Amino acid sequence: MTGVLWMIGGGSISGKTARHWHVSKEALRCDLCSHACRIVEGHRGRCGVRSNRAGELIASSYGLVSAVHLDPIEKKPLYPFHPATEVLSLGSVGCNMSCRHCQNWLISTAGLDMPRLETLTPKDVVQSCLRKGSAGIAWTYNEPTLWQEFVVDTSRLAREQGLFSVWVTNGYIQPEALDEVCECTDAMNVDVKGFTDNFYRDICGARLQPVLDTVERAHRNGLHLEITYLLIPTHNDGRDEISDFCDWAASIDRGMPVHFSRFHPDHLMMDVPPTPLSTLEMARDLARDSGMEFVYLGNVLVGNDTVCPSCGAVALERRGYRVTITGVSEGRCRRCGHDLRLVGL
Ligand code: SF4
């Protein structure tokens, strides 16, 4: 890959030749995410961070960090994966969806000229992770697909140092790019934002099927997977829609954790009320009826414990992001011996 430097908005930013693209009819076709943008010279793709410069696709946000924090892994959320550990969490700018309810819109809608962006190398991130005593790296806050090259380079280096890498993603990525990610990634939480193509088109500016394909492919690639479904009143909280989602999730893996999260008004959806607890509980019951074994509620103070699906004993108790391991022995339920599918415990 070729290192380059671009001047944008009066400041210098780093960038690298992108990995996933091809030349197509006097333009470039980006092969990274499912939009497959056609980009003519001097222009950027829909995400705003990949540009055609002199016939070469540039990953302009390579190494550009907008936020870095040490977070509980439960915040991603990832529940049975290295529970009760802190993870160095990084985000950049931009997004390939345009969700009207985005809760991170300050960075998802920001451009490369956002103030206070820091430029880091993969080595910087790994060293910072080791210095802070973090067990791994979480790619989160904005969509990690958009700086896939930097994330992959860093995750490969992190793995050499015994660190894990996790993604919090909308799943809108093409198969070859996803396979490259899966080779150096340990876990993913994928947002399934609704279960109709109309919802994805009208609310998120995307399509449903590529997201489902990502979950199925990442599962085949052996990643630890969890799904988050944010329930938005009147938009994606119909009983039939949730039921279809649950049946689909169960057809992939009944042991895959599912998080039904409460919506709070944000960004362009300030006129929609928060999700009633009764809707979250209805979704949980539908998931259990479909056979899902580990179903959690999110953004509320109840329904966060890991409960043995076989005997009902509480194995991990959660109060906010605080976790108490109450009923686990060698990864299994202490009471009945059922496999709780815990990773790193
Ligand atoms: S990552 Fe997606 S949105 Fe961005 S240029 Fe490529 S295809 Fe377009």
Residue with tokens 């930013």: 13
Residues 270 and 254 in one domain: yes
CB of 229 within 8 A of CB of 260? Answer: yes
Final residue of a domain: which of 59, 85, 100?
59
Residue that terminates a domain, selected from 59, 75, 107: 59
The residues near 241 (Cβ < 8 Å, ≥ 6 apart) are 194, 195, 196
CATH number (domain holding residue 166) = 3.20.20.70
Is there a single domain that holds both residue 179 and residue 141? yes
52 and 87 assigned to the same domain: no
Distance 74 CA to ligand 1 centre (A): 29
Phi, psi for residue 228 in degrees, rounded to 5: -115, 130
Quote the ligand 1 centre to 18 CA distance (angstroms): 11
Q: What whole-number distance in Å separates Cα of residue 181 and Cα of residue 89? A: 17
pLDDT-derived band at 25, boundaries 50, 70, 90: confident
Mean pLDDT computed over 171-181: 98
Is there a single domain that holds both residue 120 and residue 240? yes
State which of 37, 108, 172 you would mutate to test the pocket of ligand 1, scoring each by most atoms of that ligand within 8 A of its C-beta.
37
* Domain span holding position 7: 3-59
Tell whether ligand 1 has an atom less than 6 A from the beta carbon of residue 18. no
Whether 298 and 198 share a structural domain: yes
Residue 241 shares a structural domain with residue 162: yes
Q: Residue 96: CB within 6 Å of ligand 1?
A: yes
Mean pLDDT for the chain? 94
pLDDT tens-place string over residues 46-56? 999 999 999 99
Give yes or no: residues 159 and 288 share one domain.
yes
Pair (193, 334) in one structural domain: no
Higher pLDDT, 310 or 14: 310
For tokens 């550009």, the residue is 64
Reported as a single tens digit per residue, the pLDDT across 101-139 is 999 999 999 999 999 899 999 999 999 999 999 999 999
| Residue 37 beta carbon below 6 angstroms from any ligand 1 atom | yes
Residues 253 and 120 in one domain: yes
- Asked whether residue 265 falls in the same domain as residue 340, the answer is no
**Domain count across the chain:** 3
pLDDT digits (tens, 9 = 90+) for 68-106: 999 999 999 999 999 999 999 999 999 999 999 999 999
Percent of the chain topping pLDDT 90: 94
201 lies in the same domain as 77 = yes
Bond prior to 77 in cis (omega within 30° of 0): yes
**Residue whose token pair is 């950049």:** 92
Ligand 1 atom with the shortest distance to the CA of 145 = 1
Share in percent of the chain as helix, strand, coil (round to 5) = 25, 30, 45
Residue of the CA atom closest to atom 5 of ligand 1: 45
Would you state the structure tokens that stand for residue 88, as one six-digit string?
Answer: 């160095």
The verdict on 152 and 30 lying in the same domain is no
